[in-house]
Amino acid sequence: MIDAKKLRERLIDDFDYPEVNVDMVVGKIEAMSPDVYAAFEMWYNTGNVVDIEIEGYNFAAVKEKSEKMNPIAVYLTLDWLAREPVKAKAALMRPYSPLGGR
C-alpha cells in the first residue's frame, strides 16, 4: 500500500499536480480497482509500466489518445474503464482537442 502523504507529495513535486486537486487524485488512486491499483503501485515503486488490459485498452492505447497524459492519468483512465466502461470508452473514442478536453 502506498503511503498517502508520500503520494501526495510526489504528485505535487514530481508531476506538478496543483495542491487544490491533489487530495482528489490521491482519493481516486486509493479507490482504484485492485488490478489497476497493483499495476499502478508497481509503476509508482519501480518506474516500470505494468501493461494490463481493461475493456480492450492497455497503457499504450490510452497514452496514444493523449500523449500529454502522464502515467498517473493513464492508470486513472484504465481504472475509469474498469468502473464505467461505457462512459470511459465513449470519451476515449472522441478526438482529443486541446481547447475542449477530449
**Structural domain for 16, as ranges:** 4-93
**Domains in the chain: how many in total?**
1
Considering the domain boundaries, does residue 100 fall inside one? no
Considering the domain boundaries, does residue 16 fall inside one? yes
pLDDT at 7: 96
55-70: average pLDDT: 90
pLDDT at 74: 95
Considering the domain boundaries, does residue 101 fall inside one? no
What grid cell was written down for 59?
497503457
Considering the domain boundaries, does residue 37 fall inside one? yes
Considering the domain boundaries, does residue 15 fall inside one? yes
What percent of the chain lies above the pLDDT cut of 90? 79
Rounded to two decimals, the pTM is 0.88
Average pLDDT over the chain, rounded to an integer:
90
Considering the domain boundaries, does residue 57 fall inside one? yes
Considering the domain boundaries, does residue 28 fall inside one? yes
Considering the domain boundaries, does residue 19 fall inside one? yes
Q: Please check whether residue 69 is in contact with residue 77, taking contact to mean a CB–CB distance below 8 angstroms.
A: yes
Check whether 22 has a pLDDT greater than 90: yes
Check whether 102 has a pLDDT greater than 50: no
d(CA 91, CA 95): 9
Residue 17's CB is within 10 A of a number of other CB atoms, namely 19
In terms of pLDDT, which residue wins out, 81 or 66?
81
